[in-house]
Structure 1
Amino acid sequence: MKKVLFIFSLLLIMTSCNSQGKRPLMGDTDYQKELNASYKDASKSPLKKKDLRKFNGLEFFDIDSTFIVKAEFTKIENAPTFEMATTTDRKPLYKKYGLLNFTLNGENCELTIYQSQDDLRDKKYKDYLFLPFTDDTSGNESYGGGRYMDVMTTDITEDNTVLLNFNNTYNPYCAYNDKYSCPLTPRKNHLDVEIKAGIKVFKKH
């Protein structure tokens, strides 16, 4: 009987330790939880080892529906291929795909959305569009080099509108580790408003 009680007590201790050791994923939305999970995974995280050891989750602004807007999409026809500047000597090929016009906090805004010519060769990414931007929080509460948002060609509706959710933005890998080469946000993609939504600047250890 004593042996059974001992084994039962041991199982309770092990269960308690496991439950304490497994912390729930940080984040208020599925998007935030998935992003935190990928950054916590050492096999694919852009974080430096010293930062990964202390990583408890990325910082985000509070979710704000104000920053979910419907934009009018205008396709740019016959756009030339160009070399986009990056944080290194790498010059990836892009094309301007279209213009996005929307109103945010009473301000008329316009962003250019791009298409990577390298991604077109990969079936997995051929529908991805690239939307980099800076705003009046850049360099303070958010990363100075700007933030990114992924938009799919399939997100563009038949009436040429697309829903932009600035709560679902992310930083370029360069914000976490200078070994990466990241596209620089073109100057024309600066918004003269504060986008207090999405990912915040990363505080390195």
Structure 2
Amino acid sequence: MKYVLLSTLFFIIACGQQKKYHKQTDEEQASINSDAVRKILYFQNKLNSEFKDPESSPLPDRFRKDFEGLDFFMPDTNYIVTAKLQRTPDAEPFLLPTTTSRKSHEKLYAIAHFVLNGIEHQLEIYQSLELLDEEGYEDYLFLPFLDNTNGEETYAGGRYIDLKEPEGDSIVIDFNRAYNPYCVYNKKYSCPLVPRQNYMKTKVLAGVKDFIKH
């Protein structure tokens, strides 16, 4: 596996020398929110299906046989943000440490600037040089992050979000799509460590929660 702040929109329409301002109705905003929630639930169901499938699941057999589903926070559209991208085309490739002796070959693609929970944040987004030549991953971007839920509601080592290269200078980040590194479920995996500079000083109550082994 590798993935707007929904604010009220205003449309300004010039009409001669007069301007008329149109505000979205509550019904229109509810429709947008409902569509976003459907997409979040689809992501959750797809992830659960992957975990149940022995061909794609990171779970060892002893955990997968009784697996019913991952523990998610409730879908929350407040955790969908539109971030301004500060691209870094001249960034030098670097080796990102992992949970094993392997190092992941990465390049800083951009720095995302956004507001979440009333706080300004910036997170580094990476591009894997190892995946650039793989079919289906040409536009893949990797966003690992830490927040104040780590070690409590979520995995202590942080979580990941998969993204795709956008065409413009902004990118939508849906924290409801945050998932755990596979090494949380199975030590045979080598997972990139989340850089400390991607620590968010807030609680991100969205996405996958910590995995409790029974």
| Same fold by TM-score greater than 0.5 | yes
Q: Is 2:205 the partner of 1:196? A: yes
Bigger radius of gyration:
1
Q: Is 2:105 the partner of 1:116? A: no
Deviation, 1:78, is: 1.2
What is the CA–CA distance in structure 1 between the aligned matches of 2:56 and 2:80, rounded to whole Å?
29
- Higher strand residue share: 2
Q: Is 2:179 the partner of 1:170? A: yes
TM-score normalised according to structure 1 size: 0.83
What is the CA–CA distance in structure 1 between the aligned matches of 2:64 and 2:129, rounded to whole Å?
32
- Aligned identity (percent) is 44
Code of the residue aligned with 1:161 in structure 2: it is S
Residues 184 and 108 from structure 1, CA distance in 2 versus in 1: closer, same or farther, beyond 3 angstroms?
same
What stretches of structure 1 move > 6 A for 4+ residues in a row?
none
TM-score normalised according to structure 2 size: 0.80
What is the CA–CA distance in structure 2 between the aligned matches of 1:113 and 1:46, rounded to whole Å?
24
- Specify the alignment match of 2:22 in structure 1: none
What is the CA–CA distance in structure 1 between the aligned matches of 2:204 and 2:179, rounded to whole Å?
13
Counting only pairs closer than 5 Å after superposition, residues 135-154 of structure 1 correspond to structure 2 as: 135-153=147-165
Code of the residue aligned with 1:113 in structure 2: it is I
What is the CA–CA distance in structure 2 between the aligned matches of 1:120 and 1:28, rounded to whole Å?
27
What is the CA–CA distance in structure 2 between the aligned matches of 1:36 and 1:188, rounded to whole Å?
30
Code of the residue aligned with 1:125 in structure 2: it is Y
Deviation, 1:28, is: 7.0
The root-mean-square deviation of aligned C-alpha atoms, in Å, is 1.2
Q: Is 2:107 the partner of 1:95? A: yes
Q: Is 2:205 the partner of 1:179? A: no
- Specify the alignment match of 2:12 in structure 1: none
Query: CA-to-partner distance for each residue in 1:46-93, whole Å, 9 max, x for gaps?
Result: 001111111000000011111011100110021111111000000121
SS in 2 for 1:29: helix
Code of the residue aligned with 1:179 in structure 2: it is K
Deviation, 1:111, is: 0.1
Query: CA-to-partner distance for each residue in 1:158-180, whole Å, 9 max, x for gaps?
Result: 2x111111001111101101111
SS in 2 for 1:174: helix
What is the CA–CA distance in structure 1 between the aligned matches of 2:136 and 2:123, rounded to whole Å?
25
What is the CA–CA distance in structure 2 between the aligned matches of 1:193 and 1:69, rounded to whole Å?
14
Counting only pairs closer than 5 Å after superposition, residues 1-205 of structure 1 correspond to structure 2 as: 29-153=41-165, 156-158=166-168, 160-205=169-214
